[in-house]
Chains A and B, each alone.
Chain A
């Protein structure tokens, strides 16, 4: 039995959970919260490895994701295409070329979306990719504004590879990320006309939070970030656009550049609790923790140089993380709902962007395209009549086979390649579930409840499913399919 937050002091809360308390249920909790699902294989693996070694494997370092083929091709061709467009005089031809470029971008974006989901689907990358999603929801950029897939991709890779170092260094790297430079208009910010967009979001959404800076701090900081530019080769600094005069930020005056402003941010008291609070909302619970608990974690984080790897390992091994009040009550984000369901049911991510990315969008989490600079709010906000309906539709599509005749050439090639690579299990077929047909209904219901739900359902819940299975209206496959759908659509399955 783990200890409730009510019986923990802030200091005890962030101490490592005693070894004997970290049992199978705690392992499942960890896998569902840090990753996307607790499958039997992963539970066994993590139990065998132990808590510390598992966290080290996930959160010590992360390598880059290889650039998807289509993104790479686009990257190689885009410069030439832009040049050709510029030199084309005939307006009709020009429009045609522009349309072509847009289409290639869109295809590369979709391909990237699928590859990313496929990567997250692999259990060894799940925790890392969920953490990337966490960082993407802080250092928000969106596809609509950024447009170029390779720039989006590089931004995400930056978060992935630098996200486990110190947070101030990460923030500095992000200020040089071409995607961010474009998204928050740094590339249009000059000494003559400083644009405040980046400076404002840096303080409000990346590091300190609302109320911990003044409008004047923003205006002055904006001047420090003037001259940040990006071109096809990446970041560069345009000295002629930079305002190198003195600025006063947080009461300190100097000829600051952007990095120095970020260093000043990390002398502010609010900086130490901002990221821990975000971590709590994303991984633990919607309601903020009592202030002393957050402050304690923040102090520990600051004392360790704002190291993210340490923060994550402290968090996921803490007594507080395993406290009984945080079990099976966090609403899964759509990405987790989809990827976790694939893991639970041993399905592969279908390389069908139209279907899969469309489903994510309908559930309220379009790949790399959050609603605004604040990102997705999450929690209860994931759930409304519309998004719940989209979740229901998704569970139905898990039973749809793929008709190769209806696919375009690219899709057919991708589906065939995935099948050849042994990742072609895209739908639950009769063969997948027929092992329950000759068993009593209790068996099938218990099997799928155990596999899928984050907590044991009530007797009543089981009985309704058992009755349905026993009646077998429309045949055993259909009734089995319907009980799996009902579980996946039920309120209980939306939680982790």
Chain B
């Protein structure tokens, strides 16, 4: 690098060939496309061993909080839910007031061993009851009367990764065919997605090389630039991830549903030492407008078994100290059941945080059930307070830059 005018390499391969360790040119990262700097970094041994990783589990459709974390000692719950209430005999009791849905035995065990925390009655002011909009509010972490195009995870990457060496691995990996809005950011980050099942990366090397060659010639701005960037990142990542998943030997038995299979993959990637900080998995089906009882029991059963298998796998791999898992859902459901054996869109609901770093296993105020028919719950914890806690206490990051204002950290982690 002593030449006065180093000429920049044109392709990723040329670059890797030309620079032994690769790291030298990172100084020019402002001039070089991201995929080149990233590929260069790929030649560097993994930097950090003790990472804090966040796994987000989205319960899509709006989870019925009242039938998940159940106030079984409160008569008002039974009055609101003549058909759907879970009888006090069936509830898995956590304390004198609060219990879990009977399908959640595995999560009850996690609770007892101090690895699960319940943040009660989480929501936000002026709640929106549209799936899309409320999901967007949770993912972009804004006031409900504002819109932002960036998500809270994306802004965390914007704030944290600026000026830091680029890791070779994706900043975030999502499982499922949609990139979560939480990952949208100002500056581009490497976000990789893959299915819950099936192969990752399956092309012959000669074909991939030709594709890289032509893709490098695309315009670097607008949609063409976006396509180019995404494709290049994907090519680099799929080579690595495909290899990792092929070799992974889980140390827990995961059920066959797609949430469990997704978490199995996440465990494999974490075990392989990827530098990825955030994983995103999803379980759908919570929009239980009708015939809720059976559907909800199945969903909670899957959730419970999947989380337990994941946590067990991490523990067996001695990775549990590095991982915090958190659920969220766009809204809870209305306290009053509807006439179709279901519940309509509501507001606040509990969320779960799982990990060995759990400090306190019941935080926040339980919901006040003193509501009229078809009236909604009033949240007691703003979801951004939960995010702020994760950012400051788990990621050691400055939450205000990401969330936009100060929230008091909570004692769950």
Contacts and interface: CB of A to CB of B under 8 A. Distances in A.
A464 B192 CA distance: 27
B97 to A, nearest CB: 30
A188 B290 CA distance: 9
A482 B207 contact: yes
A494 B179 CA distance: 18
Interface in A95-132: none
Interface string A61-84: 000000000000000000000000
Interface stretch (B32-40, B227-235, B404-412): B227-235
Given A195-B344, A386-B194, A388-B234, A464 B339 contact: no
Contact of A491 (B133, B206, B218, B345): B218
A87 B227 CA distance: 56
Nearest to B170: A385
Nearest to A184: B289
B214 A486 contact: yes
Contacts of A2: none
Interface in B207-246: 207, 210-211, 213-215, 217-218, 222-224, 226-228, 230-231, 233-234, 237-238
Contacts of A210: 130, 133
Interface string B383-412: 000000000000000000000000000000
The SS class assigned to the A binding surface is: helix
A487 B227 CA distance: 14
Given A329-B223, A362-B177, A389 B214 contact: no
A374 B132 contact: yes
B223 A330 contact: yes
B341 to A, nearest CB: 9
Contact of B211 (A192, A200, A486): A486
B206 A464 contact: no
A373 B226 CA distance: 27
B166 interface: no
Contacts of A443: none
Contact of B203 (A197, A392, A465): A392
Interface in A323-364: 329-331, 361-362, 364
Contact of B231 (A362, A388, A483): A388
B214 A461 contact: yes
A384 B344 contact: no
Interface string A176-201: 00000000010010101101110010
B191 interface: yes
Given A386-B194, A389-B238, A491 B227 contact: yes
B216 to A, nearest CB: 8
B155 to A, nearest CB: 18
Nearest to B126: A215
B131 A374 contact: yes
A373 B131 CA distance: 8
A473 interface: yes
A489 to B, nearest CB: 5
Closest 6 CB pairs of A and B: A491-B227, A386-B193, A385-B234, A193-B339, A491-B218, A374-B132
24 contacts: A192-B339, A193-B338, A195-B340, A200-B130, A204-B133, A330-B223, A362-B177, A372-B131, A380-B223, A381-B179, A384-B178, A384-B191, A389-B234, A392-B203, A458-B217, A464-B210, A468-B210, A468-B213, A474-B206, A483-B210, A490-B214, A490-B218, A491-B218, A492-B214
Given A371-B178, A381-B178, A388-B234, 14 more contacts: A185-B290, A195-B340, A196-B345, A200-B130, A329-B223, A374-B132, A380-B223, A380-B226, A384-B179, A392-B203, A457-B217, A485-B211, A490-B214, A492-B224
